[in-house]
Amino acid sequence: MLNRRNFMMASLSALNLPAPAQGRRVGHLVVIGGAEDKLQDRVILRRFVELSGGPKARIRILSAASAEPASAWALYRTVFAELGVSDFESIDIADRAAADSAAVSEQILGADGLFISGGDQGRLMELIWETEAFRALHVAFHLRGCCVGGTSAGAAVMSRHMLVQGEATRLPEKEVAELDIGLGLVPFAIVDQHFSERRRLGRLLSVLAQHPDMLGVGVDENTALVIERGKGVEVMGAGAVTLIDGRQMRSNFDVIDSRERLEMLGLRMHLLPAGYRYGLNRASSSNWPLPSSLREALELLVEPGPMRG
C-alpha cells in the first residue's frame, strides 16, 4: 500500500510533466515584506521570474489568502505579462474540496514559479492544510526545484510556526501574538512582514521568547529575502531584513503572566540591508568574512527541513 509521499511521487511520474524551464534547479524562496514595487522597476518580481526560469517559466499564482482573490489574480496577471511571462495561470482554491482536487495538484506540480499573494495567512492555511495541494507544494519545492515567492501574508505563511495576528507593542510582552501552523518551507524561523513600517520588532521579540529555538525574520516593505537552500541569502529592494537569533537567550517568559513585559538577555541581532548577499562560502558572499554568529544563523535559515506529505 502506498503512503502519502509515495503516492505523490507516483502521481508526479504519472503526470509526465515537462522539465523545469532551466533544467533541474535548486528551489529558491522569495520572501517579500509586502507592498513590493509593481509599477516601476519591479526589481523583486523580476528576480522571482528569473529564479523561476525566465520569461518561458510556468508561473502559477495562488491568491486564496486574499479576501478578493480574483482581484489579486488580475493584478499579478498584468504584472507578469508586462514582465514578459507568457505562461501564467491562477490556482483557484475556493474551498478544501478544490485544494484536494487533482486539477489543483497538477497546476502546482507543473509550476516553475509559484507566487502567493497577500491577504490573510490564516485563511490560506485553513483552505490547504493537510490537503493534496499542501503536499503538492512541498513536492514542487523540494523535488522539482520550484521557486516559491510570497508577499505579505504570502511571506508569513512560509514559516512552520506562522504569525497569524498580534498588535505591534512598543516593548515585547508575553503572548501578545497568535501563532498557527504554516507551510513550513522556512522551518526554523518565524517570518514577520511590513516590519519596520509597522514597528513590529516588539511583536517578533515576543514570539521568539515563546519559541527561543527559532530565528526571527522581519522583512520590510518592498524588500525581499531570497533564500537559496543550503547556500545563502540575498536581500533585494528598498529596505532591510532584521534577523534575530534567540537560541542563547535567557528570558523570564516562564515566570511572568500573559501581557507582562519580557526580559530577554543574550539576543543576537543582524541587520541585512538590500543589495547584499550572505553566502556560506567565500564565492557566494559579498560580505566576507561573516561573523560566526551570523554564519550560525544563516546555516539554520537555509536548512530546507523535511518535505511534508
Res 98 pLDDT > 60: yes
Place of cell 512598543: 170
Res 11 pLDDT > 60: no
pLDDT in the model for residue 2: 38
Q: pLDDT, tens digit, for every residue of 165-199?
A: 999 999 999 999 999 999 999 999 999 999 999 99
Res 259 pLDDT > 60: yes
pLDDT in the model for residue 120: 98
Q: Report which of 189, 169, 195, 150 is spatially closest to residue 259, judged by C-alpha positions.
A: 169
Res 3 pLDDT > 70: no
All cell numbers assigned to 140: 514542487
Which of 261 and 17 is assigned the larger pLDDT?
261
Res 6 pLDDT > 80: no
Indicate the range of 194-208, 229-243, 277-291 predicted with least confidence: 277-291
Model confidence band, residue 225 (pLDDT cutoffs 50, 70, 90): very high
Res 222 pLDDT > 90: yes
Q: pLDDT, tens digit, for every residue of 118-176?
A: 999 999 999 999 999 999 999 999 999 999 999 999 999 999 999 999 999 999 999 99
Question: What's the Rg (C-alpha) of the chain?
Answer: 19
pLDDT in the model for residue 284: 73
The share of the chain scoring above pLDDT 90, in percent, equals: 86
pLDDT in the model for residue 160: 96
Number of Cβ within 10 Å of residue 7's Cβ equals 14
Q: pLDDT, tens digit, for every residue of 15-59?
A: 556 666 655 577 899 999 999 999 999 999 999 999 999 999 999
Task: Give the pLDDT mean for 234-263.
Answer: 98
Task: Give the pLDDT mean for 105-117.
Answer: 98
Asked if residue 209 lies in contact with residue 264, where contact means CB atoms within 8 angstroms, the answer is yes
pLDDT in the model for residue 22: 56
Domains and CATH numbers, the chain: 25-301 (3.40.50.880)
Q: Report which of 93, 161, 159 is spatially closest to residue 123, judged by C-alpha positions.
A: 93
The secondary structure of the chain, three-state, reads: CCCHHHHHHHHHHHCCCCCCECECCCCEEEEECCCCCCCCCCHHHHHHHHHHCCCCCEEEEECCCCCCHHHHHHHHHHHHHHCCCCEEEEECCCCHHHHCCHHHHHHHHCCCEEEECCCCHHHHHHHHCCCHHHHHHHHHHHCCCCEEEEECHHHHCCECEEEEEECCCCCCECCCEEEEECCCCECCEEEEECCCCCCCHHHHHHHHHHCCCCEEEEECCCEEEEEECCCEEEEEECCEEEEEECCCCEECHHHCCCCCECCEECCEEEEEECCCEEECCHHHCCCCCCCHHHHHHHHHHCCCCCCCC
Catalytic residues: 152, 194, 221
